[in-house]
A and B are shown apart, each in its own frame.
Chain A
Amino acid sequence: SAVISQKPSRDICQRGTSLTIQCQVDSQVTMMFWYRQQPGQSLTLIATANQGSEATYESGFVIDKFPISRPNLTFSTLTVSNMSPEDSSIYLCSVTGQQETQYFGPGTRLLVL
């Protein structure tokens, strides 16, 4: 399985600001995913990030709010833009291994005041 790290692990931000979350994988992977887990909720897929192409966003998520970069096969970033308290969540990245299995990073815990 892949080893995935995320930075920062947690942050407290003021509304109206932006935060960029980094996801680093220890091996080259084709597909990376970004999820949001709101307090007490399950995971919701934000977007799929493929290297060399624009991210594919799920319904309810837009590029202006959650721009994603995927400069190479081991790294991706998710930016949460113009934050509001409703953006307070855990943000997780994941990668696909063998047989459609997804492996997750430790998550970034975001609190917006």
Chain B
Amino acid sequence: AQSVTQPDIHITVSEGASLELRCNYSYGATPYLFWYVQSPGQGLQLLLKYFSGDTLVQGIKGFEAEFKRSQSSFNLRKPSVHWSDAAEYFCAVVANNNDMRFGAGTRLTVKP
């Protein structure tokens, strides 16, 4: 079955530490891939997206993600986390007919 998996429900990192949020998908072909962030009480903001070409994509707020076809993964990374990065992060895919499917989300807590 087609699915988007974010294995980590909650991650805690110290401010200044590096971050990696995992995302795996299960689709027949390579879908379009997205990462969104939702700060408390806010809507969803697009961080970055992948369609084709360079498998390492840069986004806003210092985030990047790498598409690995062999692993069906699209992990989000940031080299140094800031306290303002504390939020919920959603991986999403579009495979067919503009049908966007979301992972369950990963809640990021940043320790001082």
Residues of A within 8 A of B (CB): 1, 31, 33, 41-45, 48, 92, 94, 96, 99-107, 109
Interface of A is mostly: strand
For the complex, is B51 an interface residue (Cβ under 8 Å from A)? yes
Residues of B within 8 A of A (CB): 32, 34, 36, 41-46, 49, 51, 90, 92, 94, 98-105
Interface of B is mostly: strand
* Contact yes or no, A100 B102, CB < 8 A: no
* Contact yes or no, B32 A99, CB < 8 A: yes
Q: How far is the CA of A41 from the CA of B94 in the complex (A)?
A: 19
CB within 8 Å for A45 and B46 given contacts A99-B32, A99-B51, A100-B94: no
Q: Can you list 13 A-B contacts (CB < 8 A)?
A: A1-B46, A31-B98, A42-B104, A43-B102, A45-B99, A45-B100, A92-B44, A100-B51, A100-B94, A100-B100, A102-B34, A102-B100, A109-B41
